[in-house]
Amino acid sequence: MHQLVMQLSRAQTLKSMADSTANYCSKIFRDSAGMVFVGPDGGLQLVSQWRSGQIPKKNFADEIIKSSSVSRALKTGEALVLQQERASNSRASRHLGALLRKYQCHCVSFIPICAPGQNPSGVIVLVLRNAKELSPVVRDDLLRLGQIVAGCIERARAYDAALAARVNAENASRRKDEFISILSHELKNPMMPILGWAVALSSGTLPEAKQNQAIDGIVRNVRVLNYLIEDLFDAARISSGKLRLQPGETRIQEVAREALATIQHRAEDKKLRISTDISEAIPNFTADSRRLQQVLINLLNNAVKFTPEGGGINLKVRKRGMYAECIVSDTGKGIERKFLPFVFDRFRQEDRPSKIRTGGGLGLGLGIVREIVALHDGSIKALSDGPNRGSTFILRLPLGQKGFKGAI
């Protein structure tokens, strides 16, 4: 036992602690099998297991879990011993009894991992072939083992939590560093044409035929800058909890058409086909029409941004039950299945080489979209069958709403 205590004192993670316990038990009980379970939030997690050559069952742990004895020991904190010849009280015990007879084992013990007066944090299961191995002295030692391991589990959990927190902090720091790099790049993109056209105009040497082109270029890039800055402001408002809505009677059909008009020019430049299906059967409802327009513009802009020339974009607006549903789909680059759960996270963009960042953007837009939709008590989700198979965003907004989270 002293050797185990020394090993446990050096074990830092939950896994290493469980493995040390399993190694100790396998040496003390040579012809045995066993498992170390930990019970996070009342559940059961198999952390480590062992078995001797006399017990060849590969999925032996699965057979043990089928019984309710592990859960009962975790719930009650009482040690349970089930012997082969007495395993007939219940369906679960009969199943274990048959298992013990099959592998010529004498008994199976369920030792709760808990300190005196505390709730169990796990269970050690021992399957023994020799009846003499489970003497009263050994039982006392096993109970003491459960108490020792209990203290180590709490320390290991604290270490694992600290390690996870550190990894999360490092990932967050890395994402913010990447964001600053992207921000510098995205701000520079529109500023250089503005500067170039402004210098050309101020020199007085620009031909008259090019002056309107210069003004159009400046106006277009100033608008791009304005969108970037507005996204930054909205991200700051969200972080401080100050993003608010201005509710009013809203006709979603008009909001959708205004959003389409905003992105029309960019779509035409890429020769994209735009199809619409906007139902007139949707009644007016209470919402912030300006913010909803921002949501649809963002979704449509994404579709334009990530759809190659000659592709297609579809906007469908319809009534679905007690919701207004807006669906934006495209035939663009699609979304990796593994990235779908994170597509609305701020400071997150799908990994791709910097040299082919054709889409650009700050990685804030969809995060802002999610917040605005949440303030309307609505929902939004992204769907995609994978790379180069397009994507679909489904926005749902409740109808007949009298008030919502973001109202001022």
CATH code, domain carrying 192: 1.10.287.130
Q: What is the CATH number of the domain that holds 149?
A: 3.30.450.40
Mark whether 217 and 306 lie in a shared domain: no
Phi-psi sector, 353: left (phi>0), alpha (psi -120 to 50), beta: beta
**What pLDDT sits at residue 54?**
65
- Residues 69-103: tens digit of each pLDDT: 788 888 888 887 777 655 555 555 666 677 777 76
Residue 300 lies in a domain: yes
Q: Which carries the bigger pLDDT value, residue 8 or residue 334?
A: 334
Task: Single out the residue in 184, 213, 239 at which a domain terminates.
Answer: 239
The whole-number pLDDT of residue 290 equals 92
Residue 90 sits in the same domain as residue 210: no
Number of domains in the chain: 3
Could you list the residue range(s) of the whole structural domain that residue 372 is in?
Answer: 248-398
Candidate from 51-65, 249-263, 298-312 with smallest mean pLDDT: 51-65
Q: How large a percentage of the chain has pLDDT more than 90? A: 30
Residues 41, 157 share a domain = yes
Does pLDDT of 326 surpass 50? yes
* 257 shares a domain with 219: no
Q: Is residue 15 part of a domain?
A: yes
In a domain, 405, yes or no: no
**What is the Cα–Cα distance from 336 to 348, expressed in whole angstroms?**
13
Mean pLDDT, residues 265-289 taken together: 93
More confident residue, 52 or 328: 328
Q: Do 120 and 213 have their domain in common? A: no
Is the Cβ–Cβ distance between 46 and 35 less than 8 Å?
yes
Please check whether residues 79 and 150 belong to one and the same domain.
yes
What's the pLDDT at 55?
66
pLDDT attached to residue 101: 75
pLDDT band for position 354 (cuts 50, 70, 90): very low
Examine residue 407 and state whether it is found in any structural domain, yes or no.
no
pLDDT digits 0-9 by tens, 284-323: 999 999 999 999 999 999 999 999 999 999 999 999 999 9
pLDDT in the model for residue 24: 84
Q: Do 221 and 300 fall into the same domain?
A: no
**pTM attached to this predicted model:** 0.56
Domain co-membership, 208 together with 307: no
CA distance 286 to 313: 28
Q: How many CB atoms lie within 10 A of CB 265?
A: 10
Residue 167 inside a domain? The answer is no
Cα separation of the two ends of the chain: 65
Q: What is the CATH number of the domain that holds 298?
A: 3.30.565.10
Q: Which residues contact 254 (CB under 8 A, 6 or more apart)?
A: 289
Quick check: 221 pLDDT over 80?
yes
63 and 210 belong to one structural domain: no
Per-residue pLDDT, averaged over 232-252, amounts to 87
Q: Is beta strand 273-278 parallel, antiparallel or unpaired with respect to 312-320?
A: parallel
Angle subtended at Cα 298 by Cα 293 and Cα 303, rounded to the nearest 5 degrees: 125
Mean pLDDT in residue range 376-402 = 90
**Confidence (pLDDT) at 384:** 94
With beta carbons less than 8 A apart as the criterion, state whether 401 and 287 touch.
yes
Same domain, 278 and 367: yes
Q: Are residues 208 and 325 in the same domain?
A: no
CA distance 134 to 106: 10
Overall average pLDDT of the 392-396 stretch:
97
Give a yes or no: residue 189 inside a domain.
yes
Q: Where are the beta strands (DSSP E) in 121-272?
A: 122-128, 248-250
Rounded mean pLDDT of 108-135? 80
pLDDT at 133: 63
List Cα–Cα distances, 344 to 63, 340, 363, 367, 382, in angstroms: 41, 8, 9, 5, 9
pLDDT confidence of residue 152: 80
Burial 192-225 (b: 16+ CB within 10 A, else e): ebbeebeebeeeeeeeeeeeeebeebbeebeebe
Q: What is the overall mean pLDDT for the chain?
A: 82
- In a domain, residue 83? The reply is yes
For the residues 343-365, what does the mean pLDDT come to?
61
Of 100, 131, 162, which residue constitutes the final position of a domain? 162
51 pLDDT above the threshold of 90: no
The span from the CA of 34 to the CA of 109, in Å, is 9
Domain end among 239, 271, 296: 239
Do 218 and 272 lie in one domain? The reply is no
pLDDT band at 361, cuts 50/70/90? low
Mean pLDDT for 364-379 is 91
Provide the pLDDT for residue 323: 94
Q: Give domain status of residue 169, yes or no.
A: no
